[in-house]
Amino acid sequence: MRNLMMMVTVLIGWLMLAISCSAENIIPLDNYPVTDAHPGWKLGVQSYTFRKFTLFQAIDKVSELGLNWIEVYPTQVVSEQWPDVQFKNMTAEIKEATQNKLRQAGIKLINYGVVNLTADEAQCRKMFDFAKEIGVQTIVSEPPKEAMALIDRLCQEYKIKMAIHNHPKPSHYWDPDTVLAACEGCSKWVGACADTGHWIRSGINPLEAIKKLKGRIISLHLKDLNEFGNPEAHDMPWGTGVGQVKEILAALDRQGFQGVFSIEYEYDWDDSVPAIRKCVAYFDQVAGALKASGWHDLLADDLSNCIYKPTSWTLEDGVLIRKGGGDIWTKDRYGNFLLDLQFKVDKDTNSGIFIRTGDIVQWLHTAIEVQILDSYGKDKPDKHDCGGIFDCLAPSKNMVLPAGQWNRMTIAAVDNHINVVMNGQRIIDMDLNQWSEAHKNPDGTPNKFNTAYKDMPRVGNIGFQDHGHPVWFRNIKIKTLN
């Protein structure tokens, strides 16, 4: 009996190890990995940054920036399709459309505010009910002191946090001491949404305020401004103003902070994305140096870590653009990894992403190709359609968007498992070991490869194919796995 128990224990151990190594556990079904530079730090955008646009347009801009999180304010118009509907007044149909929009982009709605919470329990419950329905983790508000006990009780009941926001002087919470006083006696479900820009406008040293609120900070509206103590001071790219952003991030890392950084860029309202992109790059550099999550850009800004003809590809404003003249390859070689990116095709575009390429000259028979193709609208995809493993395995669904629209894709390569998630759906779950013969797929159909896929290299270069058609890639990030 003892030997039987030992055998069962060993078998369970092997089973758990196999499960832990499965790509299915690396990418949750119908989801994307979080690609933030610092583990536990969620960098997103407060949608008030794009108040001149609809929420759907704001989601597109957050996607363009390669971020995973968004904080929404209540009065933003949802979409041009519903010009009279604000976020706080969505119907069930519009809520579902909004969730689908977020899911497709791989963006999570994490905070909601700034909203009005009072000492009226019915009013508060209505707000918490809405927050729970839309799935946010934190409500951002500036409630009166007498409402704090009620709000704390509701936070614990609903498992939703409440963060006190500080508008500039003379608002009630402009001074961090007032925020601390309001939180006194409350649980950790209640804390601060630290708006560092409003502190600067109010003449408060933001670094000292961060230190004062240690243990109470739930989220931030992180900003860098051009002038201290001026109510009219405006936003600047992080690291270029008086906001002590680097020092603030270091202080938060020492505090063990885990939470949300919302970019609320209240300047250049019509075209703030270029400046925000600089904020993101600065944050990733500083935060990643403090504690690295393992995610980093696959390509150097000047493509110096690539093998390609100099005139064949360019990287412009974060977008890799095919110019013609051959494929582009990483110099580094990757085995087990997560590759997360966005791509856009033109009408009739044919391209591909090569992974684990053993020989970039003989790539056809030494690389696994994830197909990039304008196959929008096809009812039943085959093994040559977008997202499929070229000539070997068809995607389970045709998820590619119409030509001209950006798609998001995650490729997971873990030992003999290849998984692909595209536009919010898992479409490939491949066990390479099932491809045991050259020129033959497990279903008996032929393929063109001289090497059985189970024998394909498990480590190699990553490449982007020039198949003679326009194609664009952006936000190309990778994380290597053990």
C-alpha–C-alpha distance, residues 194 and 216, integer Å = 10
- Token pair of 248, please? 């603030």
Backbone angles phi, psi at 337, to 5 degrees: -165, 165
Burial class (CB in 10 A: 0-12, 13-18, 19+), 414: buried
- The answer to whether 259 and 220 have CB atoms below 8 angstroms apart is yes
Closest CA to 474 of 345, 326, 306, 317: 317
pLDDT of 92-108, one tens digit each? 999 999 999 999 898 99
- The answer to whether 224 and 240 have CB atoms below 8 angstroms apart is yes
| Confidence (pLDDT) at 29 | 53
Question: Which CATH superfamily hosts domain 26-290?
Answer: Divalent-metal-dependent TIM barrel enzymes (3.20.20.150)
Q: Do domains 26-290 and 298-480 have the same CATH topology?
A: no
Burial class (CB in 10 A: 0-12, 13-18, 19+), 455: middle
Q: Could you give the percent of the chain with pLDDT greater than 70?
A: 94
| Confidence (pLDDT) at 441 | 97
Tally Cβ neighbours within 10 Å of residue 100.
Answer: 11
Low-confidence ranges of the chain (pLDDT < 50): 4-24
Longest alpha-carbon distance in the chain: 78
Which residues lie below 8 Å from residue 383, measured CB to CB, with a gap of 6+? 389, 390, 391, 392, 393, 394, 441, 445, 447
Q: Does domain 298-480 have CATH number 2.60.120.560?
A: yes
For the chain, what are the domain ranges?
26-290, 298-480
C-alpha–C-alpha distance, residues 364 and 361, integer Å = 8
| Confidence (pLDDT) at 424 | 87
Helix axes 55-64, 92-105, angle to 10 degrees: 10
Averaged confidence pLDDT in the chain: 94
- State the DSSP string of 285-297: HHHHHHS--S-EE
| Confidence (pLDDT) at 351 | 98
pLDDT of 254-278, one tens digit each? 999 999 999 999 999 999 999 999 9
Helix (H, G, I), strand (E, B) or coil at 301: coil
